[in-house]
Amino acid sequence: MHDPRLTPARPDLAAKHLEGKVSAARFVDGEELEVIEAIAPLRRAPSPDAELMTQALKGERVTVYDQSGEGWAWGQLESDGYVGWLPDTTLGRPAAASTHQVTALSTLAFPGPSIKLPPALALPMAAKVSIAREDGAFSVTREGHYLPRTHLAPLNAKAADFVAVAERFVGTPYLWGGKSSLGIDCSGLVQLSLNAAGIAALRDSDMQQASLGQPLDPAGWVRLKRGDLLFWNGHVAIARDDTTIVHANAHHMATVIEATDKAIARIKAAGNELVTVKRL
């Protein structure tokens, strides 16, 4: 059974590389495009009212297999394989290869080497840019945007502690499908934080539960270590230590630090028991 979230296949159309593996009326090669907006919504259907499944960030490559003719493109993200519909206007032909990533929660791009100029755009953590040169305190992109050098790092840079990355999002509003400091969900927080530390992670909590780490014996759930991942049905949290977690959640409508035992009890009272704990 193919997961439709990760398989570019529909009854009417599928990726060429899936021919012989799935049923579809026709198979196409697809076209590689790049996200040119700061944040691009990936939706379940080609409509602005459709469910936000995830977000693609600037510099992300996308293989597009279909276009609606009404402003939407159906494709698969290169980074985590997620499939869905993105607005045509958020995509463009790939230019120069990205060289750097944003490591600040968000940063501003200026049209010149001065913070007094009105910013041209804001970029979220993990957005990718191509740097052409340095100019004092700024890195200059090939599009001519000036970004603070301290907010960038080479693509291969890795954060020492993914939990510390997650903690920086405390106070960020909860957004189903969100992946930035403007709004983030539980699995988006885990994915972004792990990716910042060089650890690949799939997008949704059930995918993460199935693919990350090793399960702890339930007897060990009371002896959590920093970086352990706690899973409920449809939810994931990160242990900060043996008594607290950090997680984006709809109860607080924000990313918060919470006492682990109180969170487990509160979520259980709402009808959702802790399923497993995974150690990376």
**pLDDT at residue number 262:** 97
The predicted model scores a pTM of 0.96
Query: In the predicted model, what is the mean pLDDT of residues 139-167?
Result: 97
Query: In the predicted model, what is the mean pLDDT of residues 198-224?
Result: 95
**pLDDT at residue number 220:** 79
| Widest Cα–Cα separation across the chain | 58
Give the model's confidence band at 124: pLDDT under 50 very low, under 70 low, under 90 confident, else very high.
very high
Query: In the predicted model, what is the mean pLDDT of residues 146-163?
Result: 98
Query: In the predicted model, what is the mean pLDDT of residues 182-199?
Result: 98
Interatomic CA distance for residues 53 and 271, integer angstroms: 24
**pLDDT at residue number 226:** 98
Average pLDDT, the chain: 97
**pLDDT at residue number 221:** 86
CA distances in angstroms from 275 to 74, 221, 270, listed in the order given? 34, 11, 14
Tokens 């944040």, located at residue: 39
pLDDT at 1 over 80: no
Interatomic CA distance for residues 236 and 248, integer angstroms: 9
Nearest to residue 127, comparing CAs of 112, 143, 111? 143
Q: What are 9-21's pLDDT values in tens digits?
A: 999 999 999 999 9
Query: In the predicted model, what is the mean pLDDT of residues 61-74?
Result: 97
Query: In the predicted model, what is the mean pLDDT of residues 86-110?
Result: 96
Interatomic CA distance for residues 229 and 214, integer angstroms: 10
**pLDDT at residue number 145:** 97
pLDDT at 222 over 90: no
pLDDT at 95 over 90: no
Interatomic CA distance for residues 77 and 55, integer angstroms: 10
